[in-house]
Chain A
Amino acid sequence: MTDAAVGGSRRDFVLRIARAAGVSPFAMGVLDGTVKAVPPSEETDFAILYAAIALEHHAIALYDACLKDNVLEGGLKRYAVEFRGDHMGHRDTQIAIVEERGGRPPAPPSRPDLGSLGSPWEAVQAGLEVEVAAQKAYTALISQIRTKDYLLSAAFILVDEVRHMTVWRRVLGLKIY
């Protein structure tokens, strides 16, 4: 996998993963650039939270599948366990914020479309794709967040997503600095 292979279709696969995860039309609009800015509101925060939770569900399902099928071994498996744990934390934090505000968080998809994960190579590549999608989504959406508590949480979640993405890039031999 070359950097060009990731970069050339990055926008497409970010949108594909967001769509597969069930991200709302509003958040899709921010991601694909058709929605530039919206007035900060409780509704906007909910839309962002629902999109973020959907992406977290997708990432957890991906790592679950890799771990269940023993696709990854050794240190790579330990990274997958670590990253799944992070995503579970992100999911739970954001579900708690939604519930505290009286919303209804989206449930995980019953049959997520994860693509082929038959080899370690495919698993790491899929891991990188989902992390890039998450990083891009949080980066694009963060400035639309209205409330300070969620903005702070989203900032630290974004730091984690960058870590995951950078580790998988290094594993695949892509540029990291």
Chain B
Amino acid sequence: MTVPSRPLLPGGEPPSRRAWLRAAALVPFALLGLARRNEAADYTSAAEVFDAVDRLEAELGAMLRALAARVPAARAFSRSLLADHETQRATRERLRRRLKLPPRARLGAGVAGDIKLSALRSSQEALVYAHAEGLPALGDPRAVDVMARHMVELSRHLTVIDLWIEGEGGGR
């Protein structure tokens, strides 16, 4: 397993034609379109959104920790994502207080079984979609702004996992 980190084009300077052709050949086909959005969750309150996000983040966190323990090459990646989660969690706590919502429920660390990239992707995608589908239920522009920015970070993580899967020879 290799988390994508090296460039497909050499950094700094435009590549030679040879390097370019190699890079072009390395990028696998990305499937057209995404079959999704058919089962959108219908959140009715900010509390419901935050609870769902907390739960999904905890599940994903357990998978990332298990991945880091089993796959040394994935440690930096897992650490980076978990650090982002921690920052987002603290920001959500402040949002909860601002919106006068109860604090986050205590969630166990979670136990991840055998980690497959496809399962990691599903978990990451669920967290991204909870943010997207939750925005209309927040009812507060500041909260929408913050959660949309979190969603941007999480969507980036999702794409890294997609690129990783593609690099392993799988499609999305």
**Interface of A with B (CB < 8 Å)?**
1-2, 37, 40, 72-79, 81-82, 85-86, 89, 119-122, 124, 135, 139, 142-145, 148-149, 151-152, 155-156, 158-159, 162-163, 165-167, 170-174, 176-177
Q: Are A176's CB and B4's CB within 8 A? A: yes
**Given A158-B155, A172-B7, A173-B11, are A142 and B29 neighbors across the interface (CB < 8 Å)?**
no
> Which residues of the other chain, B, contact A165 by a CB distance below 8 angstroms?
156
Sample of 24 A–B contacts (CB below 8 Å): A72-B24, A75-B26, A75-B29, A78-B30, A81-B32, A120-B24, A139-B149, A142-B135, A142-B145, A143-B148, A152-B40, A152-B136, A155-B135, A159-B128, A159-B132, A162-B159, A163-B155, A167-B30, A170-B7, A171-B7, A172-B11, A173-B9, A174-B7, A176-B5
**Interface of B with A (CB < 8 Å)?**
3-12, 14-15, 20-21, 23-33, 37, 40, 77, 80-81, 128, 131-133, 135-136, 141-142, 144-145, 148-149, 151-152, 155-160, 162-163
Q: Are A167's CB and B159's CB within 8 A? A: yes
Q: Chain A at the B interface: mostly helix, strand, loop or mixed?
A: helix
Q: Chain B at the A interface: mostly helix, strand, loop or mixed?
A: helix
Those 7 A-B pairs whose CB atoms lie nearest each other, nearest first: A173-B7, A75-B27, A74-B24, A173-B11, A155-B132, A162-B155, A148-B136
